[in-house]
Amino acid sequence: MNKKLLLIIVATIIIIIVIGYSGIKSLQTDEDNQKIIQLIEEQNFIFDIINMDKLDYVDKNGLITVLNPEFKLKPELHALYEEVGMYDNPHDSLVIFPVFTESAYSDNGFYSYYKGECGIECLTVTLSDELSYESSGAGLQILSLLGYHIISDVEIVKNPEIIKQYNKVILLHNEYVTQEEFDAITNHPKVIYLYPNALYGKIKFNEKENTITLIRGHGYPESSIDNGFDWKFDNTRPYEFDNTCLNMKFFEIDNGYMLNCYPEQAIATSKNLLKTIKEF
């Protein structure tokens, strides 16, 4: 694996991610801190959050969702982690780290273009070395802590055949992918689409320049274009915008299963979700 990308993956366990997200409120007051402490107690997080003083949250109608936590295992829950983890068979399942999607959300990137803040120059961005809510940073950390094997989008593009070595492929918020990656994923017989809005925008990867460029999708190059691959199983709406996962369930498609909500918090609180991911 590319050394830089390996360092990125490892870093998700030990760094704090700073992102931009509408509705986020930084924890700057005692009242804010009490809200987050209460939430963690009520939700029974099954991982320790170790950056309490730097957390963000989004509050929608009194339903608070923690953003950008840094996790570690709880020693007293060792038996639970053995039950839901992949320590004994890490190479049975592959998790794809959404480097391309993180990069698309970077400053002066795709979303600056979508907002009309810049021109098409913003549709080419350098690969980012951070993670965020948008690129499922919590999900990546937790699956890594549980022993899952993780490689990046870049590795798939370089060698699409690699995913055939795995019984199961787990997608995070892999919103932006190349045609090669799309073909490899959709031709695999068992894919867990853990986050909605996967395989949405078609991009080109320039290995020499270490950049991605949007080719098609998300209203580009024509406003009428939605999914860049015209994929019939696109599940962006309305599931991407449900981050509470109060009615969480998977539904089956031709080559796997899709979750009906955005599980950045649920993955840290739900033993059943983690067990289901393992047992598929």
Most confident of 10-24, 30-44, 180-194: 180-194
In contact, 200 and 176? CB cutoff 8 Å:
yes
Pick the range with the lowest mean pLDDT from 29-33, 174-178, 258-262.
29-33
Q: What is the pLDDT of residue 8?
A: 47
Amino acid, res. 94: L
Domain ranges (residues) in the chain? 10-74, 78-279
pLDDT in tens, 127-163: 987 778 888 989 999 999 999 999 999 999 999 999 9
Confidence of residue 10 (pLDDT cuts 50, 70, 90): very low
pLDDT in tens, 39-51: 666 667 899 888 7
